[in-house]
Structure 1
């Protein structure tokens, strides 16, 4: 869910600049309205509930401070307020603080300050939701008992608590006129009344865009769903999300939780129709780990591959097929992010921003498309940093590599072992050698070893097999073969020709 924002500013270019300054949706907000004076802003808030009001102080008809005061007094559930102004006047700031604004930002607005302020607003809105949720639960329990007592249902015989959700509801509220919305809501209400008359389902509370209901059997739920779809023909996407069966009053809050979880699960997987709560995980939960998506993404990032999107899409398809419980999915997602972050952090990349960004979103994903979009963005962010790191590394690492090879040429060096030593991908290291030296790693290593062998042949009486071992070759025949290929003569021929007297 995105928090709704109203911007009040009389200068058009300032409004446009504010809208484009940051990625609002990424932070969990959406701009639902604009106003150029205080009266228009107030009228807008009378028609639409907004969560955040961002207003200049100096606006026509009704000043920013007067607008705030009026909103606090006359608007139900008033929004959190951010004041902006070009006037660095302490008196304005003091009055704004007295009105309970979250922050007072001076023009020109800095991106970082706006983002920090919105994060504070988000925290306050979440706390407000928790308080409201507690109040709603108590009200739900009262309604639930009344509904049961006024029906023919006996709780001891077993009942199901559920939530009926019309997925298009938020679009209706945003885009249709008041009269049409009122008719829609009356039609929905009439649908529930009909179900009640037929003894199929009892609505006991309505909160926001969710209808809390009670049914006595799974058969009744199935029949109620089909009939409601016909009666509410303008709703194409309806979710019936239900708890497990309960037989005691004391189980009510657990049932509400289960119904809410079932709804979240259905919306996450874009699953319309009827869903019941299940506490079990699919048996295939190890499938995700066995696919090693973290390692595949690491490799794709290292190789600057276009496969990142393909791998993420494949992972999402496995998740869709598995229908994993959300807690497990969040745990697995954390594992993937930590695995990728740890690997690249060991190289020296600073990934604090990427990790913090993903962590702040992790528990707010509303559906699988959100995960796909943000995981892709996370990987692409690391890819960009890795490219920059690799470019700077390429400019300075050649000297380090040369030094390391010349100090360790007599050991069992391989492209893979050197790559691990420098936290590099072997494929990339091979490419780096080819680009810089015009030859592959093994060819370069052979040349270094042969050069060292030439020195020993000219300055010592060591036998050929001893020189072979001294420069890193355990196989003397192979050493002779490499030496002859590079020098066009055998080690003995070289010694006879160039041996120092």
Structure 2
């Protein structure tokens, strides 16, 4: 800690001697100026604002004690004085003590003795500075307590209302900047705010929630962008941009006693940060007061589309479904909690599927996502990041489930062939079959070709024509009835596939058999 010292003496030699003989730098002082008489010295005190004044007593125009008396009557800040006097000036020293002066340097000034006295003065200045700091902190904490009570609409006594009224007069208007932090970064973000706001005039840090705090700030609208409080908030906004932090400002109020409305409108505004593309931006209530979030939204169709893609392990389809859901949420401006609950529901479905696998890799994925899911309801996250997390989780689940299904498919093909043989008479499609056996349609088609040597459609037609040949040999049904019974709604289609496989028409086949 360093302090400024002003030297006053009407003898130029004495002034020069004090500057040269005393090691002010080592003692923790910087000589900020000198003066040759009390009247000029009084002006220098006003101008230079020293912490310590070392002054002679006998000086023209205004002696040292008269100068001290004048300053103590008009001064707006505490200044420590040290008197330079001789042994014969005891009466002056006694008068000085009445002014609270306890530090004396004897003339002629002895360097060693003077430095001892100045070291004592330095220690006293440090103690006084610390006492003032503690007093300021205590006063500021009392103010913060009152401001918080006003913001939370807690009862205020008449004295407290008077205090808030006097504080309100310092600025034309007041507002509340709400700061919501992702739980892991809350402590760091609050620390940054506390450091920036320390000793700031008309700005107070208020704790209002587990992971939220507020900045109550005064503004002078007539000064516009030059307002210091707004510049500080922009500084914080920039510092917070790399972190998951939402910020909003409510409607301004003329008095601190109206802070509740500022806080409530800030809370309304902050929900819309969910639809931003970045973090740390200050959302103003005025920009959203004409808008409203949808609390009741039918998301069943969106969930079904994503669930359907998951069930058939369609990664591309899942990606499209997630993108479509994000756009739908954004256009409808769905309440963020509703969107979060939808994502939580889907991710828990994925976790249930993965937990059934029971292998080490699926366990690692579960260990990775469970903490995220557990804290998602309280997380500060915008829509883009939330849907990206859902997409990554879905892709991980599809990959693991596909691997597991690939292993199981080696023994499942016989079961699929048996199902086709039992149901070929029905309007069977490969997509329906894929859903029944929890396989992707494309993968199922490739699997059938690889195992049977022919595709799904060819296999179905083979079973149908094989059955038709048996019925034709029996001769009990008409050709059209046989076509319908084996699964053809169109006789022409039956005829085409029969001739292709048997090399003759149904009538020719009956004639030969």
In 2: Cα distance, 1:421 partner to 1:256 partner: 54
Separation of aligned partners in 2, 1:152 and 1:137: 15
Aligned to 1:69: none
Larger Rg: 2
Aligned equivalents of 2:465 and 2:446: distance in 1?
A: 23
Q: Cα offset for 1:380? A: 2.3
Q: Is the 8 A contact 1:141 1:252 kept in 2?
A: no
Distance, in Å, in 2 between the alignment partners of 1:188 and 1:349 is: 53
Q: CA deviation at 1:415?
A: 2.8
Residue number in structure 2 paired with 1:438: 453
Q: Tell me how large the CA RMSD over aligned residues is.
A: 5.4
Trace 1:182-331 onto structure 2 (pairs within 5 A). 188-189=197-198, 192-193=200-201, 196=202, 202-203=203-204, 205=206, 212-215=215-218, 219=221, 223=224, 227-228=228-229, 230=231, 236-237=238-239, 241-244=248-251, 256=263, 259=266, 262=269, 266=273, 269=276, 270-276=279-285, 282=292, 289=299, 292=302, 295=305, 298-299=308-309, 302=312, 304-305=314-315, 312=322, 325-331=335-341
User: Cα–Cα, structure 1 residues 150 and 496, in superposed 2: closer, same or farther, change >3 Å?
Assistant: same
Counterpart for residue 13 of structure 2:
none
Partner of 1:93: none
Does the residue aligned with 2:509 lie in a helix, a strand or coil?
helix
Alpha-carbon distance change, 473 to 403 in structure 1, aligned in 2, over 3 angstroms: same
Q: Please identify, of 242-251 and 485-494, the stretch whose mean Cα deviation from structure 2 is larger.
A: 242-251
Shift in alpha-carbon separation, 1:308–1:142, aligned structure 2, 3 A: same
Structure 1 position 185, deviation (Å): 6.4
- After TM superposition, give the deviation of residue 402 of structure 1 in Å: 1.9
- Name the CA distance, whole Å, in 2 between partners of 1:275 and 1:383: 41
Cα deviation digits, residues 397-417 of structure 1 (max 9, x gap): 322222222222223333344
Matches within 5 A, 1:439-454: 439-454=454-469
3-state SS in 2 of match to 1:161: strand
Equivalent pair of 1:302/1:428 in contact (CA under 8 Å): no
Cα distance change of structure 1 residues 405 and 137 upon mapping to structure 2, 3 Å threshold: farther
Closer/same/farther in 2, CA of residues 258 and 487 from structure 1, 3 Å limit: same
CA–CA distance in 2 between the matches of 1:390 and 1:186? 56
Distance 2:472 2:272 in 1: 74
2:502 counterpart of 1:481: no
After superposition, where does 1:21-420 map in structure 2 within 5 Å?
A: 140-141=148-149, 148-152=164-168, 160-163=175-178, 188-189=197-198, 192-193=200-201, 196=202, 202-203=203-204, 205=206, 212-215=215-218, 219=221, 223=224, 227-228=228-229, 230=231, 236-237=238-239, 241-244=248-251, 256=263, 259=266, 262=269, 266=273, 269=276, 270-276=279-285, 282=292, 289=299, 292=302, 295=305, 298-299=308-309, 302=312, 304-305=314-315, 312=322, 325-334=335-344, 336-337=346-347, 341=350, 353=366, 356=370, 359-368=373-382, 370-420=385-435
Distance 1:299 1:148 in 2: 59
Question: In the aligned structure 2, how far is the partner of 1:210 from the partner of 1:140?
Answer: 10
| 1:95 corresponds to | none
| Counterpart-to-counterpart distance in 2, 1:247 and 1:173 | 32
Give the TM-score taking structure 2 as reference length: 0.50
Query: Which segment drifts farther, 250-259 or 380-389?
Result: 250-259
Tell me the CA shift for residue 444 of structure 1.
Answer: 0.8
TM-aligned CA distance change 1:389 to 1:162, over 3 Å:
same
Secondary structure at the aligned position of 1:431 is classed as helix
The CA distance in 2 between the partners of 1:329 and 1:226, in whole Å, is 38
Give 3-state SS (helix, strand or coil) of 2:176's partner: strand
- Long gaps (5+) in structure 2: 1-143, 241-245
Unaligned runs of 5+ in 1: 1-135, 197-201
CA distance in 1, matches of 2:332, 2:145: 32
Give TM-score scaled by structure 1 length: 0.51
The answer as to whether partners of 1:410 and 1:449 remain within 8 angstroms in 2 is yes
In structure 2, how many angstroms separate the alpha carbons of the residues matched to 1:210 and 1:295?
39
Q: Deviations over 1:251-272 (max 9, x none)?
A: 8667546546755754883252
Q: SS at the partner of 1:397?
A: helix
2:482 equivalent to 1:467: yes
